[in-house]
Amino acid sequence: MTTPLSYNPPKIPLKIIHIDSSVVVLNKPTGLLTVPGKPIEHSDCLLTRLRREIFGALLVHRLDLGTSGVIIFARTASSQVYLNKQFETRKTRKTYLARVKGHLKKDEGKIDLPINVDWPKRPIQKVCFKTGRNALTYYKVIERERSNISRVKLYPITGRSHQLRLHMKSIGHPILGDPLYADSAAWNTSSRLELHALSLEIAHPKTNNIQVYNAPAPF
């Protein structure tokens, strides 16, 4: 299901999970861009709001507009480099929660499908075995609800654009409320994209100790 996206970001205070001299970790709300978009009306975003309160906050990674949950920013240039390297070398551990259409047959498994941008339809992504970049996601079913909906934990190993959304669609279980990848029934089931970044495990730039930051799912 593809539909024009209107932008009406929520007017709510920042939800700070953790802050110190090196990092700030937020619980991003659904409906708010991580960084500014090109249109002037897309200038309101999480990074802009954060910089109003914490001068010089630096981007490390992004969450999609509709995705909520744990996101980390750096407070110094050296911290940004340190954190970026962990994402680039896949040293972080990310856990997401999603509600998807249908009941998955297996309790757990993996989705190993390469991804590339669908240029005529960008920003939509597609599975492409010829030119796609490798993309790997593990999943685990948490609950099979009565209404033909499954609650699943998703563990992305790679970090491709729209990876979790496209991977779940590709195995026949689109994420509820997804305006780009869900069919009309799954899209209309929820008023939001039911994808949430539950936790992020990452080494702290100052101590090198592994830290786990969590945000409970709102659904």
CA distance 126 to 128: 6
**Which pLDDT tens digits describe the chain residue by residue (219 residues)?**
554 468 999 999 999 999 999 999 999 999 999 999 988 889 999 999 999 999 999 999 999 999 999 999 999 999 999 999 999 999 999 999 999 999 999 999 999 999 999 999 999 999 999 999 999 999 999 999 999 999 999 999 999 999 999 999 999 999 999 999 999 999 999 999 999 999 999 999 999 999 999 999 999
C-alpha distances in Å from residue 22, one per residue of 12, 19, 65, 88, 203? 25, 8, 25, 19, 12
The answer as to whether 8 is a domain residue is no
Task: Answer yes or no: do 121 and 102 share one domain.
Answer: yes
Task: Answer yes or no: do 85 and 106 share one domain.
Answer: no
Task: Answer yes or no: do 108 and 183 share one domain.
Answer: yes
* CB 79, CB 23: distance < 8 Å: yes
The answer as to whether 219 is a domain residue is no
Task: Answer yes or no: do 24 and 86 share one domain.
Answer: yes
Task: Answer yes or no: do 134 and 75 share one domain.
Answer: no
Give the SS3 label for residue 105: coil
Number of domains the chain is built from: 2
The answer as to whether 11 is a domain residue is no
Task: Answer yes or no: do 33 and 85 share one domain.
Answer: yes
Report residue 38 as tokens: 């090109």
Q: pLDDT value at position 17?
A: 98
Strands (E), 75-194: 93-101, 108-112, 115-117, 125-127, 136-145, 149-156
Q: pLDDT value at position 10?
A: 97
The answer as to whether 10 is a domain residue is no
Q: To which residue do tokens 């008023």 refer?
A: 191
* CB 23, CB 78: distance < 8 Å: no
- CATH number, residue 79: 3.30.2350.10
The answer as to whether 4 is a domain residue is no
User: Range of 137's domain?
Assistant: 96-195
Q: Which residues are catalytic?
A: 64
Over its C-alpha atoms, the chain yields an Rg (Å, rounded) of 17
Task: Answer yes or no: do 107 and 56 share one domain.
Answer: no
* Neighbouring C-alpha atoms within 13 Å toward the C-beta of 75: 15
Task: Answer yes or no: do 126 and 38 share one domain.
Answer: no
Task: Answer yes or no: do 128 and 158 share one domain.
Answer: yes
Strands (E), 120-219: 125-127, 136-145, 149-156, 195-203, 210-214
Give the SS3 label for residue 73: strand
Q: pLDDT value at position 41?
A: 87
109 closest CA partner among 160, 159, 166, 152: 152
| Amino acid letter, 56 | G
Q: pLDDT value at position 81?
A: 98
Task: Answer yes or no: do 121 and 60 share one domain.
Answer: no
The answer as to whether 35 is a domain residue is yes
Between strands 23-28 and 68-74, the pairing is antiparallel
The answer as to whether 7 is a domain residue is no
The answer as to whether 3 is a domain residue is no
Task: Answer yes or no: do 100 and 191 share one domain.
Answer: yes
Q: pLDDT value at position 1?
A: 58
- Please name the residues in contact with 135: beta carbons below 8 A apart, sequence gap of 6 or more: 112, 113, 114, 115, 158, 160, 163, 167
Task: Answer yes or no: do 107 and 38 share one domain.
Answer: no
* CB 195, CB 28: distance < 8 Å: no
Q: pLDDT value at position 27?
A: 98
